[in-house]
Amino acid sequence: MKFGKLLLPLYGVLALIYLMVPIAYTIMFSFNDSKRTNIIWNGFTFNNWLNVCDAQGVCQAFANSIIIATVSTIVATVLGTAIAIALVRYKFKGRAATTLLLFMPMATPEVVLGAGLAAQFLNAGMPKGMLTVILAHIMFCISFVVVTVRARVAGLDPKLEEAGRDLYANPSQVWWKVTFPLLLPGIVAGALLAFALSFDDFIITNFNRGPVDTLPSFIYTAASRGIPAEANVLASAVFLLAIAGVVTAQVGGAIRRKKLGITP
């Protein structure tokens, strides 16, 4: 009986260790005094963090990933939010088909999706590059934004908007003063999910990037000879910034709840 009680915590600890080992390896080897390869530990140094762009192409690949993810996220969030509101609030012909089509990119294997998009761009005579990658990312990111925002729209009480209209607010004022603030948590969640998926994507990107390098494709190409320590630096920085953002949001939320006297 005692073993049964310990089994779940033990499983949780082992799963956490399994997930954290690659992250710990990445952070540790960002400080490796590597020469030609970054596979063997040669000593501790801060040079990789101080001269992160020394590895040829790594900073350009990182900048490309940031640009692609940012543009894709903005467009996908705007379109996805509008689609989510339309699917929840309005009845129109083809509503069920639209919902089905939105879920298809989430269910389709990335290899199939990437190859299909590459074929479409080829048939359209569109040269592969950053634009084709952005269009591809917008296509599959919209689905995740719609699913996230749709849940928030479905839980929104229409009486709150009606109250705004009863107080002589025009549609624009109702949107910006009532609807948008209430939907903002769902919109932000969808945008963060879209950014993470876009920044991290390799398979679809690899089919449609042409000569453009992103950070995942750079790491994949460099993996055969040992990922440069500078790439580990960028990956570690992204991870640490994400953790800092989560901690800041949680602490800020706790402070606001405390001020309002809300108990968790």
Distance, in Å, from the CA atom of 39 to the CA atom of 16, rounded to the nearest integer, reads 24
Residues 209, 250 within the same domain? no
Residues 193 and 131 in one domain: yes
Are 105 and 208 in the same domain? yes
Total domains in the fold of the chain: 2
Enumerate helices (H) and strands (E) in the chain, giving the number of each.
12, 0
Residue 220 and residue 118 in one domain: yes
> CB of 141 within 8 A of CB of 198?
yes
Tell me what the pLDDT averaged over the chain comes to: 85
Assess whether 242 and 260 both reside in one domain.
yes
What does the pLDDT average to over 235-263? Answer: 80
* pLDDT confidence of residue 4: 67
Assess if residue 10 is contained within a domain: no
Within a domain: residue 17?
A: no
pLDDT confidence of residue 248: 85
> Has residue 51 been placed in a domain?
no
Q: How far, in Å, CA of 148 to CA of 185, rounded? A: 10
Are both 128 and 148 inside the same structural domain? yes
Q: Which of 229, 212, 194 is nearest to 64 (CA)?
A: 212
Q: pLDDT digits over 74-84, tens only?
A: 999 999 999 99
Six token digits for residue 174: 């109702």
Find all residues with CB under 8 Å of 244, minimum gap 6, and list them: none
Q: Is residue 12 part of a domain?
A: no
DSSP classification of residue 46: S
On whether both 95 and 134 belong to a single domain, the answer is yes
Task: Tell me, yes or no, if the pTM score tops 0.85.
Answer: no
Torsions phi, psi of 73, nearest 5? -65, -45
Does 7 fall in a domain? Answer: no
Q: Mind listing the pLDDT tens digit for each residue in 115-145?
A: 999 999 989 888 998 999 999 999 989 999 9
Q: What is the CATH number of the domain that holds 156?
A: 1.10.3720.10
Handedness of CA 196, 220, 62, 141 (dihedral sign): negative
CB 30 within 8 A of CB 233: yes
Question: How many other C-beta atoms lie within 10 A of the C-beta of residue 107?
Answer: 9
If we measure between CA atoms, which residue out of 121, 130, 102, 143 comes closest to residue 205?
A: 130
Distance CA 152, CA 185 (A): 8
Residue 253, in any domain of the structure: yes
Instruction: Examine the pLDDT at 261 and tell me if it is beyond 70.
Output: no
Inform me whether the pLDDT recorded for 35 exceeds 80: no
Residues 257, 213 share a domain: no
Q: Is pLDDT at 1 greater than 60 in this prediction? A: no
Q: How far is CA 194 from CA 9, 189, 243, in A?
A: 32, 9, 17
Does 197 fall in a domain? yes
183 & 255 share domain: no
Range of the domain at 264: 234-264
- My answer on whether 200 and 239 are in the same domain is no
**So what's the pLDDT on residue 263?**
58
Per-residue pLDDT, averaged over 70-97, amounts to: 89
Q: In this structure, what DSSP letter does residue 51 have? A: T
Residue 165 lies in a domain: yes
State residue 264's pLDDT score.
55
**74 and 189 housed in the same domain:** yes
What beta strand segments (E) does 122-202 contain?
none
Look up residue 256 and give its two tokens. Answer: 């606001």
pLDDT recorded at residue 80: 92
Pair (204, 262) in one structural domain: no
CB atoms within 10 A of CB 165: 13
Most confidently modeled of 40-49, 96-105, 184-193, 251-260?
184-193
Task: Give residue 58's pLDDT band: very low, low, confident or very high (50, 70, 90).
Answer: confident
Q: Residues 240-264: what's their mean pLDDT? A: 77
